[in-house]
Amino acid sequence: MELLLIILIGLLYGAGVYLILRRSMVKLLLGIMFLGTGANILIFLLGGITKGKPPVIDEALKMFQDSYADPIPQALILTAIVISFALTAFAIVLLKRVYALVDSDDLDDLNTPEEEDI
Amino acid sequence: MIDNHILGPVFIHLFTAILQLIAWRKTVTQRYISGIGSFLGVLVAIRLLSKVQDQGILTMNASNWESPFGIVFVADLLSSTLVLITSLAGLAVSLFSSTGINRQRMLYGYFPIFHFLVMGLNGAFLTGDIFNLYVWFEVIIISSFVLMTLGGRKTQLEGAVKYMALNILASTFFLTGIGILYGITGSLNMADLSQKIKLVNNQFLIGITSMFFLLGFGIKSAVFPLYYWLPSSYHTPPSAVAATFGGLLTKVGIYAMLRVFSLIFIPDEFTRNLLMILAVLTIVTGSLGALIKLNIRRLFSYLIVCHIGFMIGGIGMFTKVALMGTVFYLFHDILVKTNMFLIAGLIRQMRGTMDMKSLGGIYAQYPKISLLIALVLFSLVGIPPLSGFWPKVFLFKEAFNISEYAFVAALVLGSFVTLFVIARMWSEVFWKDVPSDVNIEDKYNPMPLARRILLVMPIALLAIATVFIGINAEVVVKLVDQIASQLVDTSSYVEAVLGKQN
């Protein structure tokens, strides 16, 4: 299981970096999403994967301390997912607006010279 | 010392923003709420700083979870002083925006978002939990995205794409770093981390993790190879927004670096050398960029990059005197850079343009305001009695002491280029006559007096703060001295958060 996740994280990070380096805005967006997902799975993996163990144990059951699942990574990932959901939603709308204005998907076309209207 | 009031500066801005959401589309009411809220924010921040000075480091455990387990908020001298300066800059921007932002932008919620941004900044300064710091960073960037795009002009949106992509990337690196750090140590509390990190066997892995943090914060604070997003986006939004960004957002990156590298990853030989090289290159590239720009705001954007290098160099040397210089420069830089962009906005109101070639004659028309602006420019350049002079003394002194001659040369170059571009700007914008082929559209002169005061008063407010810091340098140096000692020897911070260690 660990090995599978490690390979998956590597793939997601690699694909994310590759897509960010492309010139298309849609690929930029996909790259950002891949990187975010990769980071989430990384936290999940490094928090320690345990199967079928309780996350919260009673104080009286201290002897079972080494057989419980750490609940913190889930909390962290949940927070990170919500945040990246909001950011992605914003990014999609922004890129759609830019596409409508510039009429191009190429990041190199985003260099309108100075226009003086503020 | 546990004190539940340390979150006051966060809540004041939260409530201000909520009240403004209730008064949606009532722009006049929003303006008043914003002014009052920001003013209360300054008062609460002053109270917090004086409390911290009296009682030492204050902490608050969220939901009363004991310290290494729950989220902890910590107000030490560095945080509370930064909260005060941020509130001050926020007040100035809030007053300036009531005239400097047009009504359409206000209708779409400029003010609530602005206060959410300031709330995020205060939260980032006060938190003692590394994941919570990430969450505050996200609060900051999502608010800044909205402010950046509000208005929806073409150049603005184009700048926003670059800004957004790089900032999300920075957050992802930061999150990756946090994930690895949690995997290694099993803790997120910064004070607890500083204890546990020493016990880790594989220090090499710690070094790699620290690079993730350096990369994330480096993008945010616009350090040498990662700064390209800044000059290509900061000249696009309205000046009040650019003032908040230029004054405050890059400085949060510096704050986070100061915190993380003093508390968790004590810089080793490699990190120090890396930071010094980055500092020198940041200063050089920033000044070269500033030399060729003729648009005032693009010029200021490059000056931000250039001066970030000064602070990175201070962190790179990592001695008490160098950190004093960095922290002092941080305070000075927030006030002055915010003010510079407000001045750019004022010039824009007076002349309708920000291109140096078609500007001119401001000194002849508005001598008093020009003298006020001259004061700020002197401070930026670092003329002795003003705030820009003192931190450079510390940086020079320490760089000579530990023989970082490349950094000394970069400091000289950076200061000299700043002087040169500011002098050129002064002669082009203020002294030169208006070029004969340019029609000026002065929106400032026909304004009613109250609106004109609202434009000039924030600049005067920040200028007074600069002069105050410069003249009361003795008090500020004492404060900065204490802050630097807390950064070098973090035992008091750890003790305040985790309780007495045996």
DSSP code per residue over B92-152: HHHHHHHHHS-HHHHHTTHHHHHHHHHHHHHHHHHB-BHHHHHHHHHHHHHHHHHHHHTT-
**What pLDDT, on a 0 to 100 scale, did the predictor assign at position B94?**
93
Tokens 């997912």 belong to A81
User: Could you tell me which chain B residue has the CA closest to the CA of A87?
Assistant: B142
Which range has the worst mean pLDDT, A17-21, B232-236, B279-283?
A: B232-236
> What CA–CA distance (Å, rounded) separates B443 from B109?
24
Instruction: Determine the residue of chain A that is closest to B345 in CA distance.
Output: A118
Min Cα–Cα distance to chain A from B5, Å: 26
The CA distance from B78 to B71, in Å, is 19
Each domain of chain B, given as residue ranges in start order, spans: 4-496
Q: Does B355 touch chain A (CB under 8 A)?
A: yes
Residue among B404, B129, B322, B188 nearest A47 (CA): B188
In a domain, A117, yes or no: no
Asked if residue A46 is part of any domain, the answer here is yes
Among the partner residues A45, A90, A115, nearest to B155 by beta-carbon distance: A115
Does the pLDDT value for residue A65 go beyond 70?
A: no
The torsion angles phi and psi of B58, rounded to 5 degrees, stand at -105, 145
Per-residue pLDDT tens digits for B311-343: 999 999 899 999 999 999 999 999 999 999 999
What's the pLDDT score for residue B199? 87
What gap in Å lies between CA B226 and CA B427, rounded to an integer?
32
Structure confidence by residue, pLDDT tens digits, B371-417: 999 999 999 998 888 888 889 999 999 999 988 899 999 999 999 99
| Closest-CA distance of chain B to residue A70, Å | 9
Assess if residue A118 is contained within a domain: no
Taking residues B218-223, report their average pLDDT: 91
HEC assignment per residue over B30-48? HHHHHHHHHHHHHHHHHHH
Of A42, A76, A94, Cβ closest to residue B160? A94
3-state secondary structure at position B488: helix
Q: Residue A117 has what pLDDT?
A: 42
Range with the poorest average pLDDT among B4-8, B76-80, B341-345: B4-8
* Residue type, position B478, single letter: K
State pLDDT tens for residues B118-148: 999 999 999 999 999 999 999 999 999 999 9
Please judge whether B157 and A101 are an interchain contact, meaning their C-beta atoms are less than 8 angstroms apart.
Answer: yes
For residues B443-461, average pLDDT: 88
A48 vs B224, more confident: B224
Q: What one-letter code names the amino acid at B241?
A: V
Residue that has been written with the tokens 């001598």 in this structure: B367
- Cβ contacts (< 8 Å) between A91 and chain B: which residues? 164, 168
Report pLDDT for A57.
72
Q: Is the pLDDT of residue B310 over 90?
A: yes
Q: How far apart are CA A87 and CA A84, in angstroms?
A: 5
DSSP letter assigned to residue B73: E
Cα angle at B155 between B150 and B161, to 5 degrees?
A: 75
Contact across the interface for B348 and A118, Cβ inside 8 Å:
yes
Which one of A22, A76, A96, A118 would you mutate to disrupt binding with B, by most B Cβ within 10 Å of its Cβ? Answer: A118
Q: How far is CA B184 from CA B200, B201, B206, B277, B305, in A?
A: 8, 10, 8, 29, 34
**Tens digit of each residue's pLDDT (9 = 90 or more) over B9-47:** 999 999 999 999 998 888 889 999 999 999 999 999 999
Which helix (H) or strand (E) segment holds residue B60: the answer is strand B58-61
Q: Do B168 and A87 touch (CB under 8 A)?
A: yes
Quick one: which of B109, B139, B97 has its CA closest to B121?
B139
Per cent of chain B over pLDDT 90 is 54
Pick the closest to residue B144 from A77, A7, A90, A57 (CA basis): A90
Kindly provide the ipTM of the predicted complex, given to two decimals. Answer: 0.91
d(C-alpha B48, C-alpha B42), whole Å: 10
Give burial (CB, 10 Å; 0-12/13-18/19+) of B186: middle
Domain-located, residue A114: no
pLDDT value of position A67: 67
Residues of A with CB under 8 A from a CB of B: 20, 25, 28, 32, 35-36, 38-39, 42-43, 45-48, 70, 72-73, 76, 79-80, 83, 86-87, 90-91, 94-95, 97-98, 101-102, 107, 110-112, 114-118
Residue found under tokens 């993008």 = B219
B66 and chain A: CB distance < 8 Å anywhere? Answer: no
Domain housing A10: 2-53+61-109
pLDDT reported for residue A66: 66
Are the CB atoms for B172 and B138 separated by under 8 Å? no
Distance CA B34, CA B300 (A): 27
How is residue B59 annotated by DSSP?
E
Number of domains within chain A: 1
Cα-to-chain-centroid distance, residue B30? 25
CA-nearest residue to B240 within chain A is A118
Report the mean per-residue pLDDT for chain B.
90
Terminal-residue alpha carbon distance, chain A: 55
The stretch B452-474 carries a mean pLDDT of 90
Nearest residue, CB atoms, A46 vs list B141, B142, B179: B179
User: What is the average pLDDT across B88-97?
Assistant: 93
B183: chain A residues, CB-CB within 8 Å = 43, 45-48
Structure tokens at A102: 């510039």
The SS3 of residue B2 is strand
Q: Which residue of B has its CA nearest to A30?
A: B165
Tell me how far apart the alpha carbons of residues B262 and B66 are, in angstroms, rounded to a whole number.
24
In the predicted model, what is the mean pLDDT of chain A? 84
- Find chain B residues with C-beta within 8 A of A46's C-beta: 179-180, 182-184
pLDDT at A118: 41
Domain at A66, CATH number? 1.10.287
Q: Do A116 and B353 touch (CB under 8 A)?
A: yes
Residue with token string 């950064």: B487
How far is B101 from A104, CA to CA, in rounded Å?
A: 30
The answer to whether A83 contacts B295, with C-beta atoms less than 8 Å apart, is no
- Give the Cα separation of A86 and B363 in Å (integer): 47
| A85 is a domain residue | yes
Taking CA B402 as the corner, what is the angle to CA B396 and CA B404, rounded to the nearest 5 degrees?
65
A and B: number of Cβ contacts within 8 A: 102
